[in-house]
Structure 1
Amino acid sequence: MQAKKDSEDDVDLRVRRRLRELRAQRGLTLEDVARRARIDVSTLSRLESGKRRLALDHLPRLAEALSVSTDELLRVPEAPDPRIRGASHTHNDITYWPLTRQAPGGLHAFKIRISARRRKPPAELPVHEGQDWMYVLSGQVRLILGERDFVVKPGEAVEFSTWTPHWFGVVDGPAEAITIFGVHGERMHLHD
């Protein structure tokens, strides 16, 4: 008996997710879909939020309202491609390869290659909101934080507040690292 209830819950959850997903893909509001499906908007809202169980008579009307078959509404969605695909971007002698999807406001990881040409810090070290984190893979990275000067070697990691004037470059040849930036650090390092 419990297995049947779990199966019903799975279908209910799947349809709720598909309803929201399809509605969002089509740019439809709750009111649009409710009107097309000839159901009350509060009923649709409760169906999507899980506060009301899905009735079989809702399926054909909801599928029609979303211009899909009932099977499409019930199907298990395909898992998205897990690979991160992003072109490299070079700025100020550093090439960045994205390692995370670009979600607004979140942390983003990059593999970076710092060119051997990036040896001399600017006259004024930049400051911006946020935190930076870096793990050196190869080469040696020179990190200047305020008045302090560090050499970061392969296998070492650094984390620092970007409110501190900072800059990083190379010691004697190219270097590679993994770095994590918040939105402010990403804007500063990749675009300014």
Structure 2
Amino acid sequence: MQANTEKSSVDLRVRRRLRELRTQQGLTLEDVATRARIDVSTLSRLESGKRRLALDHLPRLAEALSVSTDELLRAPEQPDPRVRGTAQTHNGITYWPLTRHGPAGGLHAFKIRVSARRRRPAELPVHEGQEWMYALSGRLRLVLGDDEFLIGPGEAVEFSTWTPHWFCAVDGPAEAIVIFGARGERVHLHE
């Protein structure tokens, strides 16, 4: 029983490693299959787990990917899960990224600190999308069209950004978590 578990563990590791190396190098299934002198459908089934890996595949696949057999057999590296990014300050708000600019459904999260000196613009911004905000500390004044709302710690808001909107800190700096799409990010951080 243990031998089967070890075999399936090695099989799984090689499948993942195959796909990881292939995609890192920007190669298609057909590219690797041609280089390894195996049928593209065989390689596809190997990667998807629909076919078991044979020992004679290993050296050819390693050669096709320009790695050693040991490199092909080793466990894939776990990417660093920490989000690293520098803070940006724009229009009285400092933004710290909480998500990478990658596949997050087009949404990006930031921790923000809103300065008490933030001034209301002549015209409130309007753009495509939705925004979410969760107040961590301090109080925020949210202006949505003709309405104003005071948001305290532990309170969350969600609103359409097609409504003219703006927010500021009340009685000192405030901190919050905000989530918005790429269009909202451009409006807040770059315009």
Under a length normalisation based on structure 2, what TM-score does the superposition of the two structures give?
A: 0.91
Stretches of structure 1 that go unaligned for 5 or more consecutive residues are none
1:127-183 CA-to-partner distances (Å, cap 9, x unmatched) read 222221111122221100111101112222211121222111122322111111122
Q: Which amino acid aligns with 1:182?
A: G
- Any idea what the Cα deviations from partners look like across 1:113-138, whole Å, max 9, x if unmatched? 11222132x23222222221111122
Aligned to 1:32, the other structure's residue is in SS state: helix
Q: Percent identical across equivalent pairs?
A: 79
Match of residue 40 from structure 2: 41
Residues 1:106 and 2:106 are matched in the alignment: yes
1:55 is displaced (CA, Å) by 1.0
The one-letter code matched in structure 2 to 1:111 is K
Shift of 1:190: 1.6
State the match for 2:90 in structure 1.
Answer: 91
Equivalent pair of 1:119/1:170 in contact (CA under 8 Å)? no
More strand by share: 2
CA contact (8 A) 2:16 2:76 kept: no
RMSD across aligned C-alpha pairs, in angstroms?
Answer: 1.7
Distance 2:4 2:190 in 1: 52
Is contact 1:119–1:171 with CA below 8 Å preserved after alignment?
no
Q: Secondary structure at the match of 1:138?
A: strand
Q: Which residue of 2 aligns with 1:15?
A: 14
Q: Cα offset for 1:36? A: 1.6
Runs of 4+ in 1 over 4 A off after TM superposition: none
Structure 2's unaligned 5+ residue stretches are none
Q: Paired residues, what number?
A: 190
Describe the superposition over 1:31-83 as per-residue Cα deviations: whole angstroms up to 9, x where unpaired. Answer: 22112211122211221222222111101110111111111111112222122
Look up the match of 1:72.
Answer: 71
